[in-house]
Amino acid sequence: MFGKTSGLIVVILFLFTAIAVAAAESIPPKVGTALPDIDLLMPDNSADRKYLGLPSGGKTFQVGRIKAKVLIIQIYSMYCPYCQADAPNVNRLYGLLESNPALTGKVKLIGIGAGNTSFEVATYKKKYSVAFPLIPDADFKIHKIIGEVRTPYFIAVKITDGGRNEVVYSRLGALEDVEQFLGQIVRTVQSN
Amino acid sequence: MKIKAVLLIFIICFFAGNACAASAAFENNIYNPGELKPTDSVLKVGVGDEAPAFTLPALSGKTVSLSDFRGRKNVVISFVPAAWTPVCSDQWPGYNIIQDIFESNDAVLLGITVDNIPTLFSWTNQMGKLWFDVLSDFWPHGSVAASFGVLRSDGMAERAMLIVDKKGLIRYIDVHNINQRPPLEDLVRELEKLK
């Protein structure tokens, strides 16, 4: 009797642990933790590679290889009406980053097109004249790793020496107030 | 025996908790039907066939016939299964930002579901103002979908994309896996073949 019960407990604990691990991989990134490892498709144009400080060659790269102190990641989709409406705001955010000498080169911005093919990413980029890199995630692989968040979703990570990173912002919703958003990111990074 | 009962309750609670957490990931108004059989119908048309004629009420209040475009425009027909479901809600909003691609290929888009007009009104309001006609194949239920052979056994339409050329001939059919969105490049490539 004791043996059977013990066996049952072991099985349950194993199941519990396995499911807990799976669940941990599929929750949205939490502030104060490291972003899960995600392989981003290497941009095929030199301007995007130059902006991110990436060498040519290689099919994928990881966030830690981007030359920046802070990386803002927009999770979006060309099929998401809220993302479409928010596109001018995100473009303005990029403009603010690039026009402020204190931020240029230190705070960078990318978009990840959840479920979007390269063609769809290019279509969105052209439609909204997006000047920062947009990375396709055609098979939702990245989207699944970061908790299948709804879109648009914004994550900011602080990149430290050695390519380690720490999530400093993680929230669902459009950028209704770009200045406030950017101010929050800058203050959060400065206070850390 | 008591230990087993406690463990059983623990297991039930644990899995129930996960189910709730998963459903919370979706937009509040979207119903998730789960993974469905990829396709569930038998096509009644083929590439090269004349497209079955139809006339349906549009969300705009007018009626739209396929013959309206004969000799004038290529017609892309996008059947989607149902309003308020995850993939469908993430398909037409994408087409809404590429009107220029349709126009450059001398094509119009007709979106068709088996939902009624009030449901389509509420649902498409979430997508912003759509530039293309949305047609209701509600009554007789799914009759147009059935005439193409894309009506599923549960009364929903397939996620199907067809291109009908200016002569009224079917030039492309993609009865897609209902659980996935058709890649945009497939449609654009086929449209460009009509030039």
| Token pair of A51 as six digits | 């902006």
Q: Looking at the domain assignment, is residue B5 inside a domain?
A: no
Query: For the complex shown, is ipTM > 0.90?
Result: no
Q: Does B184 touch chain A (CB under 8 A)?
A: yes
Q: Are A86 and A124 in contact (CB under 8 A)?
A: no
**Any chain B CB within 8 A of the CB of A47?**
no
pLDDT in tens, B17-61: 332 222 222 357 787 888 899 999 999 999 999 999 999 999 999
Chain B nearest-CA distance from A53, in A, is 30
Mean pLDDT of chain B: 87
Can you point out the beta strands (E) in B61-169? Answer: 63-65, 74-79, 107-113, 133-136, 159-164
- Diameter of chain A measured on Cα atoms: 73
B143 inside domain: yes
Which of B95, B184, B188 to mutate to probe the A interface, most A CBs <10 Å?
B184
The strand pairing partners of B77, in sequence order, are: B110, B162
Q: Which residue in the set B18, B91, B101 is minimally distant from A79, CB to CB?
A: B91
Residue B9 forms part of a structural domain: no
Q: Does B80 have pLDDT greater than 70?
A: yes
Q: How many CB atoms lie within 10 A of CB B38?
A: 13
To the nearest whole angstrom, how far is the Cα of A117 from the nearest Cα of chain B?
Answer: 7
Is B154 domain-assigned?
yes
pTM: 0.85
> In angstroms, rounded to a whole number, what is the distance separating the alpha carbons of residues B55 and B106?
21
Task: Inspect the interface and report whether the beta carbons of B94 and A79 lie closer than 8 Å.
Answer: yes
List C-alpha distances in Å: B166 to A24, B50, B76, B107, B195: 53, 11, 11, 9, 11
Q: For residue B169, what is the domain's CATH number?
A: 3.40.30.10
Q: Which of A60, A70, A17 is nearest to A40 (CA)?
A: A60
| pLDDT confidence of residue B146 | 98
For chain A, the domains span 2-191
Per-residue CA distances from A29 to A25, A46, A65, A93, B31 (Å): 9, 30, 19, 22, 25
DSSP for B104-133, please give it: HTTEEEEEEESS-HHHHHHHHHTT---SSE
Domain A2-191 has CATH 3.40.50.300: no
- Closest-approach residue (CA) in chain A for B129: A81
Answer yes or no: is B89 within a domain. yes
Residue B19: predicted pLDDT: 27
Instruction: Residue B64: give the domain boundaries.
Output: 33-192
A–B CB contacts, 8 A cutoff, strictly below? 63
For chain B, the domain total comes to 1
Q: Please write the tens of the pLDDT for every residue from A102-125.
A: 999 999 999 999 999 999 999 999
In this structure, are strands B55-57 and B63-65 parallel, antiparallel, or unpaired? antiparallel
Q: What does the pLDDT look like over A31-60, one tens digit per residue?
A: 999 999 999 999 999 999 999 999 888 999
B-chain residues near A120 (CB < 8 A): 94, 183-185
- Using CA atoms, how far apart are residues A178 and B102, in angstroms rounded to an integer? 33
Cβ–Cβ gap A5/B4 under 8 Å: yes
